[in-house]
Amino acid sequence: MDTVQDCEQLRRQARRRLPRFAFDFIDGGAGREAAMERNVRAFAAAEIVPDPLHAMRTDDIGCDLFGQHYAAPFGIAPMGGLGLLGTDADLAIARAAAACELPYVLSAAANTALEVVAEAAQRAPWMQLYCPQERAPLLALVDRARVIGCPVLMLTIDMPAVGKRLRDLRNGASVPFRWTWKTLGSAASHPRWSLGQLRNGPLRFPNLQTDEGETDIAQLMARQTGGRIDWDLIAALRDRWPGALVLKGVQCAALAARAGQLGCDGVIVSNHGGRQLDGAPAALRSVGEVAAAAGKGFVAMDSGLRNGEDLLKARLAGARLGFFGRPVAYAYAAGGEAAVTALLHDIKEEYVCARLQAGEGSPHTRILAPGANPGDSVGYGGHLPAGHERATASVVVQA
């Protein structure tokens, strides 16, 4: 890990270090994986019209979000089941985020309890929720997050049913894992991974409070995501939760507007990294119209970001914060906590370089959708409304 790494290099290293079924779990998407590919292609195709003569008002890229200060306008997206990559994945990633002073979102499907993660990182994470078929586990986790002092509650709304992830189905991914001759052979060829998993025992999901026993991942997530999410539930969470409340999985302007009317503090534009609806549009395409509908509400995005220049494109499109998922998982699998920390530093440096070259904050700097001309005012997702604040050097959002 002494050499400069990019996401594709980390991906290749992760593939070498992990058994096939573990790598496929983090690398795969739903269906034909078209949505996953569209996410990445959208960033690659989007162009930036720069204003290199724009004088930056400040070199500080820090941001104040919901009463806390962070060193840069990006964070780590919630990812469940990372215990399949290594026994301390959740803790290592949380510690790396804390060391870099970045937001970290703990998934409800993490393999480490919320309280343990908060203690290890010496700060409470943002907490992500699914909506289970029974309401009690959801409310119990909300109360645990309040006791720990989580600053943000993030409700995922784009998972009313689990996407059909063909790689996981073909590999027989389950909890506990059902070994076959094929998976045994793959694990045997990765002895370091196998020894770690044997020491730690079967994967558990302590934040979901599931019953013990052998349960398919698909069945487990179906129970935990099969509950009905409607505006009444969101209003009830708003009443119960004293901190910031954001909705994750929004790609529609009308949903963003309604969320603001109900008192939500913001939305996360996301198609779940292409792991849910394979026909969903690339998340970057939706940011502009969602930001326009959200007004002064907080708008962030995930799905497809791979480097610091992608972060700049996300912000120019209308997002105030970008979340990274797969690159962080690749980094952990490739080199543990040190590799995650190095990746986060690299993203920050890439973003600083890109914003200086582009002149972020200039009224002339903008992002172009494929096929647009540099003189056009249309960016990815369409026009932003008059007065809407595009990406600036510092973002201030208070709960």
Q: What is the pLDDT of residues 4-38, one digit of tens each?
A: 579 999 999 999 999 999 999 999 999 999 999 99
Q: Is residue 396 part of a domain?
A: no
3-state secondary structure of 79: coil
Highest mean pLDDT among 112-126, 195-209, 381-395: 112-126
Cα–Cα distance for residue pair 10/23, rounded to 1 Å: 12
Give the pLDDT of residue 318. Answer: 96
Asked if residue 191 is part of any domain, the answer here is yes
Active site residue ranges: 272
Q: Which domain holds residue 228?
A: 7-45+61-357
pLDDT at 270 over 80: yes
Confidence of residue 397 (pLDDT cuts 50, 70, 90): very low
Please report, for residues 41, 237, 397, the alpha-carbon distance to residue 30 in angstroms, rounded to integers and kept in the order given.
Answer: 17, 29, 34
Provide the CATH number for the domain around residue 303: 3.20.20.70
The whole-number pLDDT of residue 211 equals 53
pLDDT at 179: 66
| Residue 35 is assigned to a structural domain of this protein | yes
Residue 1 lies in a domain: no
Residue 51 lies in a domain: no
In a domain, 385, yes or no: no
Whole-structure pTM value: 0.90
Tens-place pLDDT, residues 43-93: 999 999 999 899 876 678 999 999 999 999 999 999 999 999 998 999 999
Residue 187 CA to residue 22 CA, distance in Å, equals: 9
Let me know if residue 14 belongs to a domain.
yes
Tally of domains in the chain: 1
Task: Express each pLDDT in 320-343 by its tens digit.
Answer: 999 999 999 999 999 999 999 999
What is the distance between the alpha carbons of residues 271 and 273, in angstroms, rounded to a whole number?
Answer: 5
Specify the pLDDT at position 247.
98
Tell me which of 101-115, 165-179, 277-291, 372-386 is least confident. Answer: 372-386
* 194 domain residue, yes or no: yes
Model pLDDT for residues 230-254, shown as the tens digit of each residue: 999 999 999 999 999 999 999 999 9
What residues does 128 pair with on adjacent strands?
154
Quote the pLDDT of residue 319.
97
